[in-house]
Amino acid sequence: MDVSRRSWVEEANNPACEFPIQNLPYGVFRTDGGKHIGVAIGARILDLHACACQGLLNGLLAEVVGACKAEVLNPLMALGPAAWSALRARITELLDADEAHESTRRRVEPLLTPMREAAMELPAQIGDYTDFYASIHHATRVGRLFRPENPLLPNYKHVPIGYHGRASSIVVSGQEICRPWGQTKSAEASAPVFGPTRAMDYELEIGALIGPGNALGMPIAIEEAERHVFGLCLVNDWSARDMQAWEYQPLGPFLAKNFATTISPWVVPVAALEEYRVRGPERAPDDPAPLEYLQSPSAERDGFDVTLQVLLESSKMREAGMDPLVVSVGNLRTLYWSLAQMVTHHASNGCNLRPGDLLATGTISGERNGSEGCLLEITRTQGPLALPSGEQRYFLEDGDRVTFRAQAQRDGLPRIGFGACAGTVVERDQPG
């Protein structure tokens, strides 16, 4: 990363900007001509479809130029790191204050759309979605609620636990989330009832969108795993805790999880986070070492120092003009299993990952209070959450809006932001 680079798009040079020239995340936005791939720079979006059509990407391989004309990122994801690097270098040239000639700027300027005027879409066609359980602090805190003497199950420190989610209900940030209906059963009841969940929760996660992937039957070696990660986004895996408690045994999450998952519209390339790499997951001295296929040769750099933030606002707070409440602040570096280990384990049995597949980390929580990634952890151990409006929350109420934000930032380095991952809970009419 060249930290000295500046863009001729002036707002991108503001230290508080989430999308400097060192970031350049990809997304898909709707225009009069349909859905176009774009790159965020400052408060604007560079239209890559238009760049390709106007010859600004000439010199790149034809398949790269063709991928920029697609309506989703999947064709670009399939091309792999060499193609991604070449395209990133060209986009940087077009936006760089020193490298872009005045004639280039005049050609590029009309292809920039203000973000406030853009409608964002899902960045990829997500064929499959897998959710992991990679935060040991989350697993321990939740496990302690149900198994105080033995919060972690015996396999946790040996295998990256995950489950297959539902890709069809993944939505982009900003879409309303209908409160789901399902079966619940209280401890006192003799039989279950069907109705709206009364324990709606959020889960703060990071998602990895897969690039080339692997052929069926062919595993991905740990040293090759990150070559299959196109980029990262924010994920909110909405959960109905009361439905989950009733249906969880014996096969795990089902209707309590698959009604909606929100992702942020911007996909941050791994290349934008190189300067924010940190040592991979730390293990206690008496923890078992990972099995050989999960032992990374680059463990010193397998983690990412990305700060994660959860904000909550009720409808009453919005009506009063109150700022959202910062509920918690965590960090991606606290995971027990790395992204590379998750990719490798997922494909270790020969399962084929495909371009656009989403692998989420599971709820990311830190060890200390104030770093929890869901309400279940907060309210079951510390009591109800107090809102500045005088309201209290054990779980989400209708009208509550949850927003996730993430950024990588260090002294002397640009801020790499992820944008917002937001959703508002709304009431749904009774089915039938």
Residues 6+ apart with CB under 8 A from 103: none
User: How far is it, in rounded angstroms, from Cα 316 to Cα 231?
Assistant: 36
Beta-bridge partners for 76: none
Of residues 213, 243, 29, 223, the one with CA closest to residue 128? 213
Instruction: Using CB atoms within 10 Å of the CB of residue 231, give its burial: 0 to 12 exposed, 13 to 18 middle, 19+ buried.
Output: buried
Averaged pLDDT, 271-282: 93
Told to judge if 138 belongs to the known catalytic residues of this protein, a careful annotator would answer yes
| pLDDT, position 287 | 96
pLDDT digit string, tens, across residues 199-239 = 999 999 999 999 999 999 999 999 999 999 999 999 999 99
pLDDT tens for each residue of 7-56: 999 999 999 999 999 999 999 999 887 999 999 999 999 999 999 999 99
**Looking at the chain, which residues constitute the CATH 3.90.850.10 domain(s)?**
129-426
What are 62-107's pLDDT values in tens digits? 999 999 999 999 999 999 999 999 999 999 999 999 888 899 999 9
Closest CA to 361 of 339, 382, 376: 339
Which residues, 6+ apart, have CB-to-CB distance to 321 below 8 Å?
none
Q: Where in the chain is the domain with CATH 2.30.30.230?
A: 10-121
Specify whether domain 10-121 bears CATH 2.30.30.230: yes
Burial of 98 (0-12, 13-18, 19+ CB in 10 A): exposed
Matching residue, tokens 């599971």: 362
Q: pLDDT averaged over the chain?
A: 96
pLDDT over 90 at 4, yes or no: no
Structural domain 129-426, CATH architecture: Alpha-Beta Complex (3.90)
Q: Got the DSSP string for 27-80?
A: EEEEETTEEEEEEEETTEEEEHHHHHHTTTTBTB-HHHHHHTTSSSSHHHHTT-
**Distance from C-alpha of 146 to C-alpha of 216, rounded to nearest angstrom:** 38
Q: Identify the three-state secondary structure at position 161.
A: coil
- Cα separation, 355 vs 351, in Å, equals 13
Q: Which of 138, 228, 345, 346 is catalytic?
A: 138
Check residue 152 and report its DSSP letter: S
What pLDDT, on a 0 to 100 scale, did the predictor assign at position 146? 84
Q: Which residue from 79, 77, 92, 186 is spatially nearest to 126, judged by alpha carbons? A: 77
CB atoms within 10 A of CB 78: 18
Please name the residues in contact with 189: beta carbons below 8 A apart, sequence gap of 6 or more: none
| pLDDT at position 432 | 55
- In the chain, the percentage of residues whose pLDDT exceeds 70 is 99
